[in-house]
Structure 1
């Protein structure tokens, strides 16, 4: 299977001006400036195969958007090699742009004051899409995304969810083999998110579209991606399957106790001091969550001891969430082996 994306030792540095302190320092800055070199992406390497759906995740400032901008040809790398769809994105920009679709959750590619369908017609001409190709492909896209009633409305009159569905359709007018999605479901309600996820699954299955998705909403990743690439301070700290991430780091269960009145953490720890249990507080002071390894006898012992000592309103047992796993990895600085 061919690679849609090949990245080797990719690096992007930004030059940042650092001001000297005081009036004298400000005066000296007029004549000579001090600069610091800040690496946003730090010699990363990875490949994405054609037809893969990959989640590209990390905290704010980790380097996700900088990577996407280099992969789409918006930014030129400081060093390293980038090949996307067999081309160098920043050297073959016009030809390359025909082979990708991009949706930035915070930016629009639709014209604000004209009807959505007029924006689509303009993009159709930009990408040199024939009437036959447009009708065959876009009728399907418009139907699945349920945007037909929106086509004659100006973009400024659309809600955020309606606009994002139209943005997604606009990115697919030329039916690109590779789609970059940067926070595509930010601020959307649950029903719109579900519609977009279902649509992305369908185009991946029907057209073998490769999708690179960056998002803070981990439920998007869980619903769509089998593989995740995790970035921290410009470095890849995990690249592998979501299933492997869960089995390696998500071992165990969480038991949430809702107490009649808030307990003291020291007392909870004392009661189960001989058990492999970690406590942390829930969203209210009377809810405490115990994280335990997958040992049935430990769970029974834990529940028995707590119920024997406290008045309990409710008990909930959950698998460790993906969000919790990723938070733990960032805190422990885990590196994929």
Structure 2
């Protein structure tokens, strides 16, 4: 579903070239739930922007659902859903229900299918009590459930999540995690998750990728990640150890068709 082949992205900042992403390659297959981790400035957000068509790579090739994101943004929008935990896609002064209706019109979703999908999401995410509430009056947990619903009303095959549980209380976080797990296992939706909350990674992801200095530093299972630091069982401690002990990535980039590299401390 996602094919990234040696992409790079550079920017000119006050006369200096900054390489945000360098020679990055990976594949995410249909139905995978993959965590994409890295410290601030590692290149995560730049990667997500290239996958969603907001930015075009300055080198290499990327396809999502068989489409070039920067060249086929309208077509890609029908294939993917995107949730940014720190930025809502809902209309601030409208009731949540009206925001969903606008999403239906934007994506030209059949009315019967829309109602079926919205009923399912309302039940699964417990939206019924606040569908008539203006978005600006919703709690953070309610708004996040609304944003996830809006991203899924058009039945995308790929869901990109950027900090979907940021700021949520423990109950809301558990509800969102349970829903995302069901979405992946029952509907086969491909999910790429970026987050600083490593509890999300441990509870949701079977595979995790680490990016550092714009390059892929690790690609493997959660258990393989733990094994890179003998004696550690906490994913948070393992990831911190890898980044603190290795300021530059120690593995060569992973190219499609190869076994994923595993960083060593």
What is the TM-score when the length of structure 2 is the normalising length?
0.92
Instruction: Say whether 1:12 aligns with 2:9.
Output: yes
Find the counterpart in structure 2 of residue 44 from structure 1.
24
Ranked by relative contact order (alpha carbons within 8 Å, sequence separation 6 or more), the top structure is 2
Larger radius of gyration: 1
SS at match of 2:21: strand
Distance in 2 (alpha carbons) for counterparts of 1:14 and 1:43? 15
Unpaired stretches in structure 2, ≥5 consecutive residues: 252-260
Find the counterpart in structure 1 of residue 118 from structure 2.
138
Deviation at 1:332, TM superposition (A): 2.5
Instruction: Say whether 1:150 aligns with 2:147.
Output: no
Find the counterpart in structure 2 of residue 86 from structure 1.
66
Equivalent of residue 234 in structure 2, options 321, 324, 335: 321
> For the aligned residues, what is the CA RMSD?
1.0
Instruction: Say whether 1:62 aligns with 2:71.
Output: no
Deviation at 1:247, TM superposition (A): 2.5
Distance in 2 (alpha carbons) for counterparts of 1:83 and 1:183? 23
Instruction: Say whether 1:234 aligns with 2:250.
Output: no
Dislocated runs of 4+, deviation >4 Å: none
SS at match of 1:153: coil
Distance in 1 (alpha carbons) for counterparts of 2:120 and 2:144? 17
Provide, for residues 129-178 of structure 1, a one-character-per-residue CA deviation record: whole Å limited to 9, x for no partner: 11221122221111111111111000000111111111011100101000
Instruction: Say whether 1:179 aligns with 2:159.
Output: yes
Find the counterpart in structure 2 of residue 163 from structure 1.
143
Distance in 1 (alpha carbons) for counterparts of 2:186 and 2:110? 20
Instruction: Say whether 1:128 aligns with 2:108.
Output: yes
Distance in 2 (alpha carbons) for counterparts of 1:121 and 1:135? 10
Distance in 2 (alpha carbons) for counterparts of 1:145 and 1:98? 22
Unpaired stretches in structure 1, ≥5 consecutive residues: 18-34, 253-318
Count of aligned pairs? 250
Provide, for residues 62-100 of structure 1, a one-character-per-residue CA deviation record: whole Å limited to 9, x for no partner: 110110000000111111100100010111111111000
Find the counterpart in structure 2 of residue 299 from structure 1.
none
